[in-house]
Amino acid sequence: MLTEPLLIVGAGRAGVSLAVALTRAGLCVQLVARRAERRAAVQAWLTRQALPIEVLAAPVPARVTMLAVPDRALAGAALALAGGQTATDGAVWLHLSGAAPWQVLQVPGGAPELAAMHPLAALPDPLDLDDANLAVRPLDGATYALAGTDAAQAVARALVAHLHGQVVAVADAARTLYHAAAALAANDLVALLHVAEQAAIAAGLTPVEARAGLGHLMQTSLDAIRRLPTDAPLRNGLTGAVARGDAATLARHMQALGAHDPAAALIHCELSTVLVDLVREGGLGPATLAALDTVLAQTPRPDDAL
């Protein structure tokens, strides 16, 4: 276990969440919040949660420093650390970006051991929550993408172990694609829910009913997928018209969505095309698959009017 204080620079969602999680894992954590207003708010929240985390206005010397700042601020934050001589012998600097290479922390004249340690988790702002348990729950068991020097990765692996997480190695050349995959799974999910909500509201649900009902549906769908054996095909967690080979219902979906919002119909069509490809090896007969393909081929595209 790390016996010296771990310094986390940045008191946003990730910084505060990791500070709480690592403190609860038995580590001593210091948290840097440069803006006075945020610093006061974070300290007040930590006090209410009875968490012994010291909140600082500026970095102090530390053997392990975690930079929880936006990608655009990483290089400047590293220069500030080097200029402030906050590193100690054998120091390790980690950043939490999914897309930025670990070398972004390199500074003139050499630098400590460096690594990237990106958590695959959607983190709320802990200050919006009354219970610290909710703040750290997304980090428990999450996957962390590592890259960097061997010594820094060893420290990162130890921290991930404290968080009961899983480690994957993602090379620098692939980190942008990896991060895009994360955006598809998390950010685009929000966009998909918005499109679904608008369709449900147009069908007569209130906004509150649409959010509650569709949110529950999405959660139960994700739960079903997560219950699958890790070697099971993803199609085994699929329900709905494509899974049943119900081309008639799929066609009615496309017609209704097209009348409501052609863009929503196109989104459903493109995603259904992926689903049909997933189920081709799942036992549906050739005639059924051909009927599904026909429905999707008949959905108007934006360039059809050209």
Nearest to 32 by CA among 46, 49, 52, 11: 11
**Residue 283 covered by a domain:** yes
Q: pLDDT tens-digit profile of 235-250?
A: 999 999 999 999 999 9
Tally the C-alpha atoms within 13 A of residue 258's C-alpha that lie toward its C-beta: 14
Task: Judge if 295 and 196 occupy the same domain.
Answer: yes
CA dihedral 214, 216, 222, 226 (to 10 degrees): -170
- How many helices (H) and strands (E) the chain has is answered by 12, 8
pLDDT of residue 306: 38
Task: Please state, in angstroms and rounded to a whole number, the distance separating the CA atoms of residues 84 and 12.
Answer: 22
Q: pLDDT tens-digit profile of 174-193?
A: 999 999 999 999 999 999 99
| Chain centroid, CA 301 distance in Å | 31
**Residue 221 covered by a domain:** yes
Task: Judge if 18 and 165 occupy the same domain.
Answer: yes
What is the rounded average pLDDT for all residues in the chain?
A: 92
**Residue 181 covered by a domain:** no
Q: pLDDT tens-digit profile of 191-222?
A: 999 999 999 999 999 999 999 999 999 999 99
Task: Judge if 88 and 118 occupy the same domain.
Answer: yes
* Number of compact structural domains in the chain: 2
When pLDDT is averaged across residues 146-154 and rounded to a whole number, the result is: 96
Task: Judge if 199 and 148 occupy the same domain.
Answer: no
Task: Judge if 136 and 10 occupy the same domain.
Answer: yes
Q: pLDDT tens-digit profile of 46-93?
A: 999 999 999 999 999 899 999 999 999 999 999 988 876 555 667 999
**Residue 270 covered by a domain:** yes
Q: Where are the alpha helices (DSSP H) in 89-240?
A: 132-136, 150-162, 175-185, 187-202, 207-226
Q: pLDDT tens-digit profile of 250-268?
A: 999 999 999 999 999 999 9
| Chain centroid, CA 89 distance in Å | 33
What are the structure tokens assigned to 262, written together? Answer: 């052609």
Task: Judge if 113 and 206 occupy the same domain.
Answer: no
pLDDT of residue 121: 95
Domain with 290, as residue range(s), is: 187-305
Task: Judge if 52 and 134 occupy the same domain.
Answer: yes
Task: Supply angle C-alpha 157, 92, 182, rounded to 5.
Answer: 50
Task: Judge if 41 and 166 occupy the same domain.
Answer: yes
**Residue 266 covered by a domain:** yes
Tokens 């009961």 appear where? 164
Identify whether the C-beta of residue 33 lies closer than 8 Å to the C-beta of residue 55.
yes
Q: In DSSP terms, which residues pair with 115 in a beta bridge?
A: 94, 148
- Pick from 145, 172, 199: which residue ends a domain? 172
Q: In DSSP terms, which residues pair with 144 in a beta bridge?
A: 119, 167
Tally the C-alpha atoms within 13 A of residue 121's C-alpha that lie toward its C-beta: 26
Task: Judge if 27 and 138 occupy the same domain.
Answer: yes
Which H or E run includes 244?
A: helix 241-244
Identify whether the C-beta of residue 23 lies closer than 8 Å to the C-beta of residue 29.
yes
Task: Judge if 156 and 226 occupy the same domain.
Answer: no
**Residue 180 covered by a domain:** no
Task: Judge if 17 and 162 occupy the same domain.
Answer: yes
Cα–Cα distances (Å) from 142 to 160, 172, 209, in that order, read: 9, 20, 31
Task: Judge if 109 and 141 occupy the same domain.
Answer: yes
**Residue 55 covered by a domain:** yes
**CATH number of the domain enclosing 110:** 3.40.50.720
What are the structure tokens assigned to 282, written together? Answer: 């799942």
- Pick from 114, 138, 172: which residue ends a domain? 172
Q: Which amino acid is at 66?
A: M
**Residue 271 covered by a domain:** yes
